Structure 1
């Protein structure tokens, strides 16, 4: 075979193989349109989940909506987070303000960012406008009590059903808080995001939209000292921001080890085999338990994940990927 032809064949083979292996992240592949609904500022896992979203080239983050409690202060936290990481073009909108008994552990960091001169954009209007612009294309990731989701369904259930899917961190099927699988099973717990707004959780499971559930069973992922040292050892805007928020959270809670519940909901969108799901019919009872009952499945639920695989994915992504711009959209 002519040497030139031989080299061309080799290049073609390697190029084709590269396209096959890396095709999901290739520039020509459509990016997953995402809206991220978060109660960032209380626990620290929302901040780590947002970092994963911003570091993922396969995601087009259309906007962030704040949920539950002091949603205005949460929005200031998000705005500062985006500003510190050079991503301030991403729209931020404010959900329904509600009472909350949970400590806002990162309030001092949020308060250093100025409040807006004009009122915040309404999260419900923003989300419905985005769905109308991209029907059947948007994944709503919700890692907060589902008050905004309940309001979306109440205001326009027809438009809500035009979501591609909803991916949540919520619920507890077989394992409750603190059960990492090493001791005898103590059974499920009423999980926080469900318990804080039971009516809205029920509306979600009855909505007819595909719902993917990352419950306590698969999301109790401990960011231990070794992993934290690896993460914070590389100084760049994102890891420096996470380090500062972590320090405020741990000073407030006296807990050195975060559990990255919410990050699994994001990881599932990026790499579904990190948390394989199975169909279930979920019913939310009056005490906030997510019960599995006979019936037509209304959710896909992940009951088990591999923490080593998750952290291998998470740390590599945060440490090696640059941040990625979102599509600028107007929903007015």
Structure 2
């Protein structure tokens, strides 16, 4: 048996070695690499700020599509937003100006046949009935006047959005998640141009679709937005503007699809309190933009960003096969869904559908994500 002093010295050496090991800094190569994403949307919102400001995310590009705003205006907002964030290293590619088939005139004809739509995005001229939210100004497709943060000095990329996306997923096969906050026109064009587009991406997460949302909050603005779903629970704007594109994308061979429908949004709100908290913690220039956002809307695209940054905000989800009705009629653009074994088998893909989120945790994720680093 060795002397006691020798045993003590040996144990002491082991403890010292262990302490040194635990004190060593984590090597850069041991940290998970940031997730590469392309953000496709109609403007520049809290979602963009959350993802661009996160060390977890590597935004390789931002693209614009016509939705709430026309694509050219959306690209200008994105360029200016990136300038304010000091992220002009991120390219902006302008996307499709018009949906694949749907038009403003066709939508007016549809309303004459089947009833008024609550929201029409870039085609919106007035609310059907008085609302707490302001009426957005109506612009023609290439009108870039009255940009809220001023005109950008940077320019859009030379390639259109669909081509840019194809090039990126081929450059980084299996690594890029497409984050979709608007209609899916650009994604459908990319898939038709390159049938391998969806399969080369890591996955798709999008805000769109409606399954069976109900009013949760009792304040006036929440009631106004939730009332739309009482008689049309399967209709949602991002899909309704370009149903053909949504159906093409839903049948594309993505490795994984996450759907954030309007269902969880009815329990959330972009309140003045939330905006003030987020603005206070952000860098000054960004804080001014955040403070200037109009409150009273549900949180939509912000849920998409939050699910990427902290999946624990999800409190309920279901795996469903999802597609969208592209036949011009009363249900044009409506969400179609099936559980396993009941799908028609026309190419529709299984998706993870987020049905509910934790509103308080969501607010915290937003505030933390936009905070000055």
Match of 2:273 in 1: 226
Contact 2:79 2:154 in 1 (8 A): no
Match of 2:111 in 1: none
For residues 197-234 of structure 1, the C-alpha deviation after alignment (integer angstroms, 9 at most, x for no partner) is 00011111111212210011123421223222222224
Match of 1:123 in 2: 161
- CA 1:4–1:223 in 2, change beyond 3 Å: closer, same or farther? farther
Match of 1:267 in 2: 306
- State the alpha-carbon separation in 1 of the partners of residues 260 and 29 from structure 2: 27
1:230-269 aligned within 5 A: 230-234=277-281, 236=283, 237-244=285-292, 246=293, 250=294, 256-269=295-308
Match of 2:18 in 1: 9
Match of 1:90 in 2: 90
Query: Gaps (5+ residues) in structure 2?
Result: 1-7, 99-103, 105-121, 125-135, 139-144, 326-330
Moved more, 78-87 or 66-75: 66-75
For residues 278-306 of structure 1, the C-alpha deviation after alignment (integer angstroms, 9 at most, x for no partner) is 21012322432213222275211010111
The Cα of 1:129 is off from its aligned counterpart by 0.4
Contact 1:172 1:217 in 2 (8 A): yes
Match of 1:31 in 2: 34
Match of 2:216 in 1: 180
The Cα of 1:258 is off from its aligned counterpart by 3.5
Choose the corresponding residue for 1:208, options 250, 253, 257.
Answer: 253
1:279 aligns with 2:319: yes
The Cα of 1:149 is off from its aligned counterpart by 1.2
Contact 1:71 1:97 in 2 (8 A): yes
- CA 1:26–1:228 in 2, change beyond 3 Å: closer, same or farther? farther
- Relative to the length of structure 1, the TM-score reads 0.79
- State the alpha-carbon separation in 2 of the partners of residues 277 and 92 from structure 1: 32
Match of 1:101 in 2: 123
Moved more, 75-84 or 229-238: 229-238
- State the alpha-carbon separation in 2 of the partners of residues 203 and 9 from structure 1: 56
Q: Which has the higher contact order (CA 8 A, sep 6+)?
A: 1
The Cα of 1:10 is off from its aligned counterpart by 4.8
Contact 2:269 2:298 in 1 (8 A): yes
- Relative to the length of structure 2, the TM-score reads 0.71
For residues 179-210 of structure 1, the C-alpha deviation after alignment (integer angstroms, 9 at most, x for no partner) is 22779994724111010000011111111212
Match of 1:47 in 2: 45
1:160 aligns with 2:205: no
- State the alpha-carbon separation in 2 of the partners of residues 228 and 158 from structure 1: 40
Choose the corresponding residue for 1:151, options 189, 194, 197.
Answer: 189
Query: Gaps (5+ residues) in structure 1?
Result: 41-45, 251-255, 323-332
Contact 2:42 2:71 in 1 (8 A): yes
- State the alpha-carbon separation in 2 of the partners of residues 26 and 228 from structure 1: 36
The Cα of 1:164 is off from its aligned counterpart by 1.2
Contact 2:279 2:286 in 1 (8 A): no
Bigger CA radius of gyration: 2
Contact 1:206 1:298 in 2 (8 A): no
